Structure 1
Amino acid sequence: MTQADKSGGPPRAHAPMAAFRRTMANCGFIDMVFVGSRYTWSNKFTKERLDKGFQTPLWRNWFPHNRVITLDPSESDHSPLLIEIQAGKQRKHRSRRLFRFEEIWHENSECNEIIKQGWAHPLTGNAL
């Protein structure tokens, strides 16, 4: 797509890259977000991003949090790509807030009775 997709070796010709970008635009494709190494192929002297993931705007609307993950190469000089698709952003589960007893509650005349009633109820579940 661009010279930034290559490190080392002779520069790529501009005309083929421009033709490829036009083709992707004519098809309505947009580059997917990637995670991991920028480069998907390498030899001793050159690294290049030869492999990419593309999507349409409609696909992006359906799956707004998808991405391409560049995995580490194993036997090959190419890095495999993993396409991760999520319909919605995964939310972190909020931990329950800890109960804190406030010293000022002792000043309330009903405080002792409320505590006694609470301790009088049978416990269900984990005692901790």
Structure 2
Amino acid sequence: MDSCHALILGKAKDCLDKGIPVAAICGATMALASAGILDTYRHTSNDFAYLKKECPNYHGEENFQFQSAVTDGDLITASGTAPIELAYQVFKRLDVFSDETLDCWYQLHKIQDTQYFYKLMQSLG
């Protein structure tokens, strides 16, 4: 592992230990797996079999969720094909929007139906 990656992964672990949310998508989930950080959290990644093959230090099999994005406490993980779902989980964890606004935001970006733009603007007051 490169020293810059070790520094970043150490910072991620410190943040989780202090109750500061950490989000990872795509290859970043693999780095967390390699560092053993995912072993005690419910999580997801790009592909379970690939994660197991490429990350021999990974021992979090029982916590792997076959979902596009997963939040467990302060850890948010997502498949590389799920950036909108990751953002949704981050916004939800940080309590950025009301449930109604968050739902409108998600629908607008997920299905790109302009009706949700107007609903989103209305939900913001």
Larger Rg: 1
- Name the structure with the higher strand share: 1
**Greater relative contact order, per chain length (Cα 8 Å cut-off, separation 6+):** 2
- Name the structure with the higher helix share: 2
